[in-house]
Amino acid sequence: MLTDQILTTLTARDKPIKKSDAGGLHIIVMPNGKKRWRLAYRFDGKQKTFYGGE
């Protein structure tokens, strides 16, 4: 589970960091410090990913 405490302690490193919950939602912390939300799901039997806006 992604909690507020986990999200606030994530810091940038030399490679992207990915933290996930059990439902397909994950956050990626880029080396420049930006955080991006993504949602993995299946549609018509195929894996898809929804990328949140900026």
Q: How many domains does the chain have?
A: 1
Strand order in the sheet with 25-29: 17-20, 25-29, 35-43, 46-51
What is the domain-level CATH number for residue 37?
A: 3.30.160.390
Please provide the average confidence, as pLDDT, over all residues in the chain.
Answer: 90
Dist CA 54 CA 45 (whole Å): 28
Nearest Cα to 28, choosing from 1, 51, 4?
Answer: 51
Dist CA 10 CA 26 (whole Å): 13
pLDDT in tens, 15-24: 999 999 888 9
Q: What is the pLDDT of residue 42?
A: 95
For residue 14, what is the DSSP state? S
Q: What is the pLDDT of residue 54?
A: 56
| Domain with 31 in it | 4-51
Dist CA 36 CA 52 (whole Å): 7
